Amino acid sequence: MVKRGKGVVIDDNVFQHRARKLARLYKVEEDQFVREQTALLARDVAKYTPPFDEFPRKGRGSIGTGKDKKAGLNALDRDINYITTVQKMGAIKWALKTFGAGRPILKGRKEISKGVLTSVNELRRWHQQNRSARRGRTEPLQHDQKYWVSKQIVGKYKKAESLNVGLSKAAFAKAAIQLGSKAAVPVWVKKNFGRVSGRGKTVRTSSGAHGLIDGKAPGLAHVKRLLPMIEADRLIKATKRLRILKRDVAKKSWTRGI
Per-residue pLDDT tens over the stretch 114-162: 999 999 999 999 999 998 866 778 999 999 999 999 999 999 999 999 9
Summarised one tens digit per residue, pLDDT across range 202-235 is 888 888 888 888 888 777 777 778 888 998 898 8
Answer yes or no: are the C-beta atoms of 83 and 127 closer than 8 Å. Answer: yes
Identify the pLDDT of residue 258: 38
Does the pLDDT at position 37 exceed 70? Answer: yes
| 13-27 per-position pLDDT tens digit | 778 888 888 888 877
What does the pLDDT average to over 90-98? 96
pTM above 0.95, yes or no: no
Sequence-separated (6 or more) residues with CB below 8 Å from residue 199? 174, 175, 178, 212, 213, 214, 215
Is residue 99 within 8 A of residue 115, CB to CB? The reply is: yes
Q: Report, as an integer, the average pLDDT of 92-102.
A: 94
Cβ within 8 Å of residue 206, ≥6 positions away:
none
Q: What is the mean pLDDT of the chain?
A: 86
How many helices and strands (H and E) does the chain possess? 9, 8
Write phi, then psi, for 98 (nearest 5 degrees).
-80, -40
- Is the omega angle on the peptide bond into residue 56 within 30 degrees of 0, that is, cis? no
Give me the amino acid identity at 10.
Answer: I
Residue 4 has pLDDT above 60, yes or no: no
Residue 8, CA atoms < 13 Å, CB-side half-sphere:
25
Confidence at 67, pLDDT banded by 50, 70, 90: very high
Question: Alpha carbon 130 to chain centroid distance?
Answer: 19
Annotated domain spans of the chain: 8-51+171-256, 68-164
* pLDDT-wise least confident of 5-9, 104-108, 127-131, 184-188: 5-9
Distance CA 224, CA 213 (A): 14
Average pLDDT over residues 84-100: 96
Q: How far apart are the first and last CA of the chain?
A: 50
The beta-strand segments (E) located in 196-256 are 197-205, 208-216
Average pLDDT over residues 236-247: 81
* Residue 155: other Cβ atoms inside 10 A: 12
From residue 219, how far is each of 71, 132, 176, 222 by CA, in Å? Answer: 15, 10, 18, 7
State whether residue 172 is helix, strand or coil.
helix
Model confidence pLDDT, tens digit, residues 38-66: 999 999 999 999 998 998 887 777 899 99
- What pLDDT does residue 6 have? 52
pLDDT of residue 84: 97
Q: With 70 as the cut, is the pLDDT of residue 253 above it? A: no
pLDDT attached to residue 1: 32
**Cα(232)–Cα(214) distance, integer angstroms:** 19
- Give the pLDDT score at 254: 41
